[in-house]
Amino acid sequence: MNDTCRLYTDLAWLWPMWGDAATEYAHYCQHVTGLIRQHVKRPAATLLDIGGGGGKNVLNLSRDFDVTGLDLSPAMLAQAKELNPGCTFSQGDITTILYLIRAHGRLRIETDHWTLGIFSLDTWRHVLRETGLQVHEGRYNPGEDRYTVFTCVKKGQDAMRLVFGEFG
Ligand SMILES: C[S@@+](CC[C@H](N)C(=O)[O-])C[C@H]1O[C@@H](n2cnc3c(N)ncnc32)[C@H](O)[C@@H]1O
C-alpha cells in the first residue's frame, strides 16, 4: 500500500470516527443478510468479508454468520480484531487468488498471487460469471451513497459479498 491509502495505514486510527459500527452499519448489513438469505438456497452459516476494513460490517454480520474477515492492511485488521475478538481475520490481497481450506472444523486461508488491474463493473460481471459463481446483482441506495452489490454463491460453499461504489 502506498501513501494514497493513508487512511488504511498510518491514519487508520481515524477509522473508528467514521461512523458508529452498531448503528450506522446495521441497516446495510441487514440488506446484505437479506440478499444472502434470498440467494443461498440452504442455510448459510459462514461468510467471508473481503476488504472488511476495521470490522464494522463484521460486527453486524456476525450476528447471523460465522464471519471471516480479510483485508490487506494490518492496521485495519488490528482494529477489526479489537472490535470482533471472537472472529477470525486474515491478511490478504483481494487481487490474489484465495484458497479457503476447511479442515477439522477450522478455516484456513491460503493466497496465491496473480497480477490484476482495477476492472470496470462490466468486467467484474463477466469475470464472476466465468468462474462459475452464481451471481446476483443488486442495488443498495441508502441515501446519497449508491452501490452495486454482487451476491455470489458457489456450489458447496456459503456466500461472499462484493461491493462497488457506483461509477458514472
Ligand atoms: C473503505 S474500507 C471498507 C471497509 C469495510 N468494507 C466497510 O464497509 O466499512 C476498504 C478496505 O479495503 C481494504 N483493501 C484495499 N485494497 C485491498 C486489497 N487489494 N485486498 C484486500 N483489501 C483491500 C483496505 O485496507 C480497507 O480496509
Residues of the chain with pLDDT under 50: 3, 116-117, 166-168
Q: Percent of the chain, pLDDT > 90?
A: 36
Q: Which three cell numbers stand for residue 21?
A: 459500527
Phi and psi at residue 15, to the nearest 5°: -55, -40
Domains in the chain (CATH in brackets) are: 3-133 (3.40.50.150)
Nearest to 154, CA basis, from 65, 53, 39: 39
The CB of 94 under 6 Å from ligand 1? The reply is yes
The CA distances from residue 25 to 5, 29, 53, 152, 158, in Å, are 22, 6, 13, 21, 22
CB of 158 within 6 A of ligand 1: the answer is: no
Answer yes or no: is the C-beta of 66 below 6 A from any ligand 1 atom. no
Instruction: Give residue 34's pLDDT.
Output: 94
